[in-house]
Amino acid sequence: MKWAVAAVCVALAYLLPALRLPALTTPEPDWATLLFVVAVYVLLALGLNVVVGFAGLLDLGYVGFFAVGAYSVALLTSPNSGVPAGWPWLAALPVAIVVTMLSGVLLGWPTLRLRGDYLAIVTLGFAEIIRVVASDPTSVFKGDRGISDIPHPAPFLRHADGTPVFGVTDARPYYWLTLTLVIVVVFAARNLDRSRVGRSWVAIREDEDAAEAMGVPTFRFKLWAFAIGAAVGGLSGSLYAGTQGFINSASFELLFSILILAGVVMGGSGNLPGAILGGVLIAYLPERLRGIRAPAWLGGQDLFEWRYLMFGLVIILIMLFRPQGVIPSRRRALELKDRDG
């Protein structure tokens, strides 16, 4: 039964680009591009959920990993990056994931001995360091000018008329590719959750000292959570770079980390459907607001401009009335309740 529901959901998700309901679509960007953006956010939410939801480590700098992934691909593939590699996107992808994973380990190694707020501050600093380094125009990352001509994935795949499947005109292939990766990541996260690893994460989240005393190598498993989260962030960044063909330092603002975190928390931290819903919410809602005008007495701007105000409101409301998220993990909900009590 559960599998049947999941299969129907997956089938529906793949068919979504064909489903142009006027109530869902937005004037800009086109429906398929919007779906792709949503899928990337879902991927990011799933990755951050491993760190924040499963292992209970507050990471405020998740965009840093997204950036490391994107820049790794950009440097390795683009003909006008400073690195004379010029690899195809597909070859750069695994390298980018490994590099991001290593960056996660490198950041986690000294910092995962810290707890709670301290870790949050360090991760925040990490993301800012990445952004500041990238925004130096004299660096290999070229600051605002950015890196252009990043090749699309799989240029060898072509339609009957010879145009590449992954091109600039049609976003659907990117969506399907990202959706497939989302499904892979969901399965991976689920397998981890229901294993010794997942149990250890819950134990660490609930009482790190007791976990260590029961033989859980807490540091090692926290590092794993960090590395896995980073790898998924790097994967998302690679996809983003491959789709846009261009990245610059402005793409990796701190706000982005906060947004993803807000999505995970809103949707339901520690729960896969919750994280997915969170990713959908943060990506879809602002676009849905686009093109809707505020009443004249409020200034009459496009509601899209109000997106962060709206998010703030939504987050406050959810925290007030449903602090465990929309689709919470049963366990996390109780942990929150306990902390209040």
Partner 1 sequence: MADVLEVDGVSLRFGGVLALDGVSFAVREGEIVGLIGPNGAGKTTCFNAVTGVYRPTAGEIRFRGQRLAGRKRYQITKLGIARTFQNIRLFREMTALENVLVGADARHGTSVPGALVRAPRHWAEERAGRELAMDLMRFVGIDRRAGELARNLSYGEQRRLEVARALATGPTLLCLDEPAAGFGPAEKEQLLKLIRDIRDRGVTVLLIEHDMRLVMGVTERIVVLEFGRTIADGTPAEVRDDPRVVAAYLGVPTDAA
Chain residues binding partner 1 by CB under 8 A are: 188, 191-192, 195-200, 202-203, 206-207, 209-218, 220, 224, 228, 331-332, 334-335, 338
When the beta carbons of 24 and 184 are compared against partner 1, the nearer one is: 184
Task: Give 164's DSSP letter.
Answer: B
Asked whether the beta carbons of 254 and 127 are under 8 A apart, the reply is yes
Smallest distance from partner 1 to CB 218, Å:
7
Q: Residue 59 CB, nearest distance to partner 1 (Å)?
A: 18
Q: DSSP labels for 117-166?
A: HHHHHHHHHHHHHHHHHHT-TTSTT-TTT-B--PPPS-TT-B-TTS-BSS
Closer Cβ to partner 1, 79 or 217, answer by number: 217
Contact 207, 52 (CB under 8 A): no
DSSP 222: H
Q: Cβ(67)–Cβ(130) under 8 Å?
A: yes
State the minimum distance, in angstroms, from the CB of residue 224 to partner 1: 5
Nearer to partner 1, 163 or 195 (CB): 195
Give the residue from 195, 260, 283 showing the smallest Cα distance to 52.
260
Distance between CA 287 and CA 303 in Å, rounded?
Answer: 9
Question: How many C-beta neighbours within 10 Å does residue 278 have?
Answer: 32
CB of 201 to partner 1, least distance (A): 11
Contact between 202 and 111 under an 8 Å Cβ cutoff? The reply is no
CA distance 47 to 264: 10
Name residue 254's amino acid.
Answer: L
Nearest-approach distance from CB 77 to partner 1, in angstroms? 28
Nearer to partner 1, 26 or 218 (CB): 218
Nearer to partner 1, 219 or 246 (CB): 219
CB closer to partner 1, 59 vs 287:
59
| Residue 147 backbone phi and psi in degrees, to 5 | -115, 125
Q: Which residues, other chains included, contact 277 with Cβ-Cβ below 8 Å and sequence gap of 6+?
A: 266, 267, 268, 326, 327
Min separation Cβ 115 and partner 1, Å: 15
The CB-of-330 to partner 1 minimum distance in angstroms stands at 8
Looking at beta carbons only, is 132 or 214 nearer to partner 1?
214
